[in-house]
Structure 1
Amino acid sequence: MASGVLCHWSPASSSCVSETYGILICVGIAGGTVRANIPSFGAEQVKYGGADSLRKFFNWYYWCVNTGSLLGVGALSYVALDMTDGFLRAFAGAGGCLLMALMLFAFGRPYYIVHRPAGSVLRSILCILHDAIGGRCCQPRQTSIQSSPVLERHSNLVSQQSVGHRNPAPTAQSPSWLDYAKIRYGGSHHDSAVEDVKRLGIILLLFFCLLPYWLVFFQIETGFQEQGLHLKIGFPQDGKASNFNMPTAWLSLFDQVFILALIPLMNGVVYPTLDKIGVRVSLLTRIAIGMGFSLLAAVSAGVLEFFSVQRWREGHGIIQVIHNWTYNASDISLLWQVPQYCLVGSAEVFAGVAGLEFAYSAAPRPLQGVAMGMFSAMEGVGSLLGTTLISALSPVWIRHDSQHFQGHLDYYFFLLAGIQGVAFVFFASWLLVRRYRIVRQEIPVGITT
């Protein structure tokens, strides 16, 4: 909204650049703060209801997020593009909704379960990393009993109970580099605090396994849109000589609508039915299923692009004008993109929702907000990697609009499918080995995921 006010008279002038980037930075900070804290804060309110309550919360949280996206893409886009001072009106409406949400959130303050902060979590993590690196590289120093108050608060009772009967560390097993932050190895932190940071590192590794999923998800706003511009967007209208041209951006609504329909179905029918027959789909299994749907979405896009290129080369091409720009296109309907959008939506329902729930459930309590922030950050990292990959392949596979059919966008989609396929096979294999070891009781089951 501020951008619309500041640049009302000359939106294309260079004087608006600094204001626009400043506003985008503020939006990024605000969005990151909300996405890192609201899911974990909401889960705190319902976690005493058990695993089912957490599952329902994260599913409905994701449903609400996509409802807002649907309204933003639909209603606010119409206001922004089809009304006088549209962008100012659209952002004013969005700002009003945010103000109303803030007021409703404040009114519920007396009923919230709130845990007072005990210090800086990030500072505690950095202190542990500093101690670990220093202890690994330097000579052992005088042991201190000063420890991190934030990371140890939730497990002090366990530590106190185990002091009297703790067995000494086996001499045959060398400590990891993080162990040098522990008191027993000359550091200044209790075992529980260091183990929490170790668990956070394991969670981060799993999030890196989701990067191929985010790469495919990134195609909703990039590769799929580019593909749609070169498919037939015109549809005959009864009684009219001109065709109705469907905006390619409308296809992204199928992703959101599919999510809005599938989440209630999974929450109200599928999951309860599986629970009744004793089949519980774990978080890691749901993430693997989501990866599978993501793989199918990339394959679907690649197959569609392959046939589109073949049709154009066989002489079944058309010329279409979109916003005064001329595009070469094949005669394959734009609606053939619907399956790949729905497959991405299915991947979100499984991997996206389960990833959020896993970030909360698997992380130690003091680090839950950090874990949620890292999960959201992975989406940004995936977007950045996708942009880098497109830039690297543009001279070869991804051509300018006028030379679209001289390139190979289908190869790009198949490359994404290959990357996602490798990640899926690796993750599924690790999951099977993990389950086998749990059955044989070779590893402890600390988290029911």
Structure 2
Amino acid sequence: MEATDKRYTEDGTTDVHGRPAVRKNTGNWRACPYILANECCERLAYYGMSTNLVNYMKDRLNQGNAKAANNVTNWSGTCYITPLLGAFIADAYLGRYRTIASFMIVYIIGLILLTMTASVEGLKAPCNHGVCDPTTAQTAVVFVALYLIALGTGGIKPCVSSFGADQFDESDESEKKRKSSFFNWFYFSINIGALIASSVLVWIQNNVGWGWGFGIPAVVMSIAVVSFFLGTPLYRHQKPGGSPITRVAQVIVASLRKSGMDVPDDKSLLYEVADKESVIQGSRKLGHTDEFKFLDKAAIVTQEDKNPVSPWKLCTVTQVEELKSVVRLLPIWATGIVFSTVYGQMGTMFVLQGNTLDPYMGPHFKIPAASLSIFDTISVIVWVPIYDRIIVPLARRSTGRERGFTQLTRMGIGLVISIFSMVAAGILEVVRLRIVANHNMYDSQAYLPISIFWQIPQYFIVGAAEVFTFIGQLEFFYDQAPDAMRSLCSALSLTTVALGNYLSTVLVTVVTGITTRNGKLGWIPDNLNRGHLDYFFWLLAVLSLVNFVAYLLIAKWYTYKKTTDEEFDYGSSSELGTQG
């Protein structure tokens, strides 16, 4: 078999038996329904448990508003930090398929334990007249279950989207175009799961019981496992390339050892193996770029560099460029943190705000505040097809680029949209506080005479921002990552959500500390009718605006990666990125 044989994929992927993947029998859209169904079920389980978690903390663990919100954001943040561990294991040792399979088991164990804390006597907190009084041990078991789930999700989140994208061979133009659409429909499947979770499951938790509300996600997660394994014969697999941390360390050490040397003007003199494949298993060669020239010193060949070559003294251009690619991603990555802080308000401040509003639909049915996130989900479900089928073709005619917008432009549009979500939330809070004053309801436990459905615009705007920024991030970090570090770079993009949640916790803590001095109630007291939650939303709007300005400067500086087996026509991103 020759490498150019069109029967086989040309990106190094293999079938389930480790043989070169046959193009017509594996991958492409034929393999994706199993991956998308797995992701839909897993997200249904996750959001079914997390969407209403702030109310579970308040009602069953007897925690105040600020403490409950911080516990949820801390846990949610951890769910987006653990992917770094799962991604490292996938890229270095197990591969994406086996990593997903292993961590799903941990995930299910956590869900089962959480279900038991809400349904099994002794583990369930005792409640009298609506007031629960959990023991320290009972509270601890809840958090053990939650953080087992956080660990389990760490092996799934960074690998599933990358594993799905692996099913499309970039060397084939038709498959390359389909891969771009895959990320849109991947995010669409996430939100189908979230739609069911934020409507049906939240209603079950509030009206039937938390045992059923957590038990159903455990069952659904089991279905996700079955779906994933059913597609096994069709999957394409990228070989793990060894520890990316070791390779990064080798480039740094080798460049430091040769810090006194000058990089030759002729970059062809830098070290690279003569073989078609790079020394990194499962990775194509990368072409040289001019940034971070100090790192090029690691590829300078000296008389002391003899066979066998020590990777701690001499690295290939591909290995150097692998590190450069990650370094270039970091500033773009950092600008996603504030966006994720805005996104995180849907599970905390939006819910607390909604708890005070009139939830009734007719005389008997009322919608839980946490269920309003359904409108974020509906927004995504509406916007994904519009973006994929209408906006992209229109933008393609205007820009001439296959993707319509560059990935950087797409993310930037989402950052702008997110500012308006905080403006909408702040305006609603101003109106809410005026109604409190007009009706003298400062200490009233009754719902305010304003419908909870006035929250819909802020949720809907966040959903629109997600379609541009979060999906753009998924594609951008996969596309710009070195082949052997794609899980890790996908995990890196997810950590913006983690740090966004942690930043939210820091902001709430700092704001509460500053605004409660001298005996004041502060912006976010337990009784929001006497607080100023609107000030918190204005703060986030200003931070989002500053973040967007920083993003514009960083995006103009960014240079896209190039591989040696394709023509490099991306150039500098002086127009918010010039990738087609």
Give yes or no for contact 1:124–1:150 (8 Å, CA) kept in 2: no
CA distance in structure 2 between the partners assigned to 1:150 and 1:214 by the alignment = 37
Following TM superposition, by how much is the alpha carbon of 1:38 offset from its aligned partner in structure 2, in angstroms?
Answer: 0.6
Within the alignment, does 1:30 sit opposite 2:152 as a pair? yes
Give yes or no for contact 1:39–1:58 (8 Å, CA) kept in 2: yes
Give yes or no for contact 2:570–2:579 (8 Å, CA) kept in 1: no
Q: TM-score of the superposition, structure 2-length normalised? A: 0.63
CA distance in structure 2 between the partners assigned to 1:228 and 1:104 by the alignment = 36
- Residues 421-443 of structure 1 show CA distances to partners (whole Å, capped at 9, x for unaligned) of 011123235546779xx999778
> In the alignment, what sits opposite 2:546?
422
DSSP 3-state at the match of 1:117: coil
2:121 to 9, 12, 20: 9
Give yes or no for contact 1:121–1:150 (8 Å, CA) kept in 2: no
1:115 to 238, 246, 260: 238
Give yes or no for contact 2:342–2:422 (8 Å, CA) kept in 1: yes
CA distance in structure 2 between the partners assigned to 1:367 and 1:127 by the alignment = 15
> In the alignment, what sits opposite 1:252?
373
Give yes or no for contact 2:377–2:463 (8 Å, CA) kept in 1: yes
Change (3 A) 1:294 1:357: same
Change (3 A) 1:246 1:97: closer
Partner letter of residue 266 of structure 1?
A: Y
Following TM superposition, by how much is the alpha carbon of 1:219 offset from its aligned partner in structure 2, in angstroms?
Answer: 0.7
Higher deviation after alignment, 86-95 or 350-359: 86-95
Once the two structures are superposed, the pairs formed by residues 80-159 of structure 1 within 5 Å of their partners are: 80-83=205-208, 86-132=209-255, 151=280, 154-156=283-285
Change (3 A) 1:192 1:347: same
Instruction: Please identify runs of 4+ aligned residues in structure 1 that moved more than 6 A.
Output: 145-150, 438-447
Following TM superposition, by how much is the alpha carbon of 1:123 offset from its aligned partner in structure 2, in angstroms?
Answer: 3.0
Following TM superposition, by how much is the alpha carbon of 1:33 offset from its aligned partner in structure 2, in angstroms?
Answer: 1.2
- Residues 10-30 of structure 1 show CA distances to partners (whole Å, capped at 9, x for unaligned) of 212433344433322221122
> In the alignment, what sits opposite 2:183?
58
Give yes or no for contact 1:309–1:330 (8 Å, CA) kept in 2: no
Change (3 A) 1:318 1:360: same
> In the alignment, what sits opposite 1:281?
405
- Residues 44-87 of structure 1 show CA distances to partners (whole Å, capped at 9, x for unaligned) of 1124435531221111111111111222232333344444xx44
Within the alignment, does 1:198 sit opposite 2:324 as a pair? yes
2:503 to 366, 369, 385: 385
> In the alignment, what sits opposite 1:268?
389
2:340 to 214, 217, 222: 214
CA distance in structure 1 between the partners assigned to 2:299 and 2:341 by the alignment = 38
Partner letter of residue 198 of structure 2?
A: V
2:452 to 321, 334, 357: 334
> In the alignment, what sits opposite 1:182?
299
> In the alignment, what sits opposite 1:166?
none
Once the two structures are superposed, the pairs formed by residues 157-176 of structure 1 within 5 Å of their partners are: 175-176=293-294
Following TM superposition, by how much is the alpha carbon of 1:292 offset from its aligned partner in structure 2, in angstroms?
Answer: 0.9
- Residues 183-236 of structure 1 show CA distances to partners (whole Å, capped at 9, x for unaligned) of 448833112211111111111220111111111101101121222233344565
> In the alignment, what sits opposite 2:524?
399
Change (3 A) 1:135 1:82: farther
Unaligned runs of 5+ in 1: 139-144, 163-168, 238-242
CA distance in structure 1 between the partners assigned to 2:386 and 2:218 by the alignment = 32
Partner letter of residue 190 of structure 1?
A: T
Within the alignment, does 1:78 sit opposite 2:190 as a pair? no
Give yes or no for contact 1:316–1:331 (8 Å, CA) kept in 2: no
CA distance in structure 2 between the partners assigned to 1:127 and 1:59 by the alignment = 37
Give yes or no for contact 2:474–2:490 (8 Å, CA) kept in 1: yes
Following TM superposition, by how much is the alpha carbon of 1:419 offset from its aligned partner in structure 2, in angstroms?
Answer: 0.8
Higher deviation after alignment, 414-423 or 49-58: 49-58
Within the alignment, does 1:448 sit opposite 2:579 as a pair? yes
Give yes or no for contact 1:151–1:196 (8 Å, CA) kept in 2: no
Partner letter of residue 343 of structure 1?
A: I
CA distance in structure 1 between the partners assigned to 2:538 and 2:328 by the alignment = 30
CA distance in structure 2 between the partners assigned to 1:5 and 1:441 by the alignment = 56
Change (3 A) 1:232 1:24: closer
DSSP 3-state at the match of 2:238: coil
DSSP 3-state at the match of 1:46: coil
Higher deviation after alignment, 52-61 or 331-340: 331-340
- Residues 374-433 of structure 1 show CA distances to partners (whole Å, capped at 9, x for unaligned) of 11111011001101101111241423233x344322121111111110111232355467
CA distance in structure 2 between the partners assigned to 1:320 and 1:246 by the alignment = 23
> In the alignment, what sits opposite 1:366?
484
> In the alignment, what sits opposite 1:42?
164
Following TM superposition, by how much is the alpha carbon of 1:335 offset from its aligned partner in structure 2, in angstroms?
Answer: 1.9
Give yes or no for contact 1:183–1:191 (8 Å, CA) kept in 2: no
Aligned-residue sequence identity (percent) comes to: 24
Give yes or no for contact 1:131–1:181 (8 Å, CA) kept in 2: yes
1:411 to 517, 535, 538: 535
CA distance in structure 1 between the partners assigned to 2:280 and 2:485 by the alignment = 8
Change (3 A) 1:320 1:264: farther
- Residues 358-380 of structure 1 show CA distances to partners (whole Å, capped at 9, x for unaligned) of 01111111111111001111101
Partner letter of residue 104 of structure 1?
A: S
Once the two structures are superposed, the pairs formed by residues 291-302 of structure 1 within 5 Å of their partners are: 291-302=415-426
CA distance in structure 2 between the partners assigned to 1:423 and 1:154 by the alignment = 34
Change (3 A) 1:440 1:271: closer
- Residues 293-342 of structure 1 show CA distances to partners (whole Å, capped at 9, x for unaligned) of 101111111122223223333x2344798xxxx26x65443222111110
Q: TM-score of the superposition, structure 1-length normalised? A: 0.80
CA distance in structure 1 between the partners assigned to 2:558 and 2:249 by the alignment = 31
Change (3 A) 1:81 1:134: farther
Partner letter of residue 121 of structure 2?
A: W
Partner letter of residue 304 of structure 1?
A: L
Following TM superposition, by how much is the alpha carbon of 1:94 offset from its aligned partner in structure 2, in angstroms?
Answer: 2.5
Partner letter of residue 208 of structure 1?
A: A
Change (3 A) 1:297 1:283: same
CA distance in structure 2 between the partners assigned to 1:150 and 1:333 by the alignment = 62
Change (3 A) 1:128 1:29: farther
Following TM superposition, by how much is the alpha carbon of 1:252 offset from its aligned partner in structure 2, in angstroms?
Answer: 1.1
